Amino acid sequence: MNPANEVSGRDGVRNRLLLVEDEQRIADVLSRGLEGAGYAVDVADDAAKALAALHQADYDLVILDLMLPDADGLTVLEKLRNRKGGPPVLILSARAAVDDKVKGLELGADDYMTKPFAFVELLARVRVLLRRGLPLQDKLTVGDLVMDTIRRKVWRAGELIELAPKEFGILEFLMRNRGRPLSRTMIVEHVWEMDYDGLTNIVDVYIRHLRSKIDDKWKVKLIHTVRGIGYLIDSPADARAEKPADPSA
Ligand code: CA
């Protein structure tokens, strides 16, 4: 993993995030955490300030609380979506109601998290959303693992590997986010396209199948368990090859 790549956009500039959150304590914890992860973070504590900030600067991602003192966060989302090519929006809300989630996603939010949540889960989602604007590749490679997403075929060291459709879906999601930890919930939502709260163990079962097919008989393991989050795929050889020269060396 290359931390410098992790936080910079296509032009190599640090990704800029707008955090819209009126609860000081949460805003502090999140902005400190996100800045610690290398992002530039601006905080707006109400809807009016959020809209003003969005007029003044280009953001790569907006993290939006729904219950704001002056307006419903969904109105900010609506205004943002009326403009073309706005940044992805991750809704953060204490409302667990399915209605709010559906409404938020209908209005064009890209992801939705219910408070309380673990920071690592938020960070994983932020990283995936920031990658989303990049063009999709047909051919994905991690070490000697190669996937043709059009013909839906996978090879390890030139050997064709048979995968069930869900296994393929999970592997593709992992490979498209190479080096980035994905939580079990994210994998479930992505591959099953619905909430499977409490059924995230199913991901462990599928990962076990995937490992038996693409990792077990090879010395170099590509799928890694990330404690407290979920899984990521990466190859140590690639990480070494892509690492830029260390300026301090
Ligand atoms: Ca709030």
pTM value?
0.74
Ligand 1 centre to CA of 62 (Å) is: 15
Give the pLDDT confidence of 188-205 residue by residue, as tens digits: 888 876 665 567 788 999
Ligand 1 centre to CA of 24 (Å) is: 9
Reading the block at residue 119, the tokens are: 């920071």
Averaged pLDDT for residues 33-56: 95
Q: Give the span between the Cα atoms of 91 and 44, in whole angstroms.
A: 14
pLDDT (0 to 100) of residue 11: 52
Ligand 1 centre to CA of 69 (Å) is: 7
pLDDT (0 to 100) of residue 245: 44
Q: Give the span between the Cα atoms of 158 and 78, in whole angstroms.
A: 48
Give the pLDDT confidence of 216-243 residue by residue, as tens digits: 999 999 999 999 889 999 998 765 444 4
Ligand 1 centre to CA of 94 (Å) is: 8
> All domains of the chain, ordered by start, with CATH?
3-132 (3.40.50.2300), 139-241 (1.10.10.10)
Ligand 1 centre to CA of 177 (Å) is: 31
Q: Which residue has the higher pLDDT, 23 or 193?
A: 23
Question: Which of 163, 142, 139, 140 shows the shortest CA–CA distance to 211?
Answer: 163
Reading the block at residue 197, the tokens are: 């709260």
Ligand 1 centre to CA of 136 (Å) is: 35
Residue 137's pLDDT band, with cuts at 50, 70 and 90, is confident
Asked if the model's pLDDT at residue 244 lies above 50, the reply is no
pLDDT (0 to 100) of residue 155: 97
Looking at the chain, the whole-number percentage of residues with pLDDT higher than 70 is 86
Q: Give the span between the Cα atoms of 73 and 107, in whole angstroms.
A: 11
Ligand 1 centre to CA of 221 (Å) is: 43
Q: Give the span between the Cα atoms of 220 and 204, in whole angstroms.
A: 20
DSSP 86: P
Give the pLDDT confidence of 152-196 residue by residue, as tens digits: 999 999 999 999 999 999 999 999 999 999 999 889 888 876 665
Ligand 1 centre to CA of 105 (Å) is: 19
Ligand 1 centre to CA of 149 (Å) is: 41
Q: Does residue 223 contact residue 164 with C-beta atoms inside 8 Å? A: no
Residue 3's pLDDT band, with cuts at 50, 70 and 90, is very low
**At 125, is the secondary structure helix, strand, or coil?**
helix
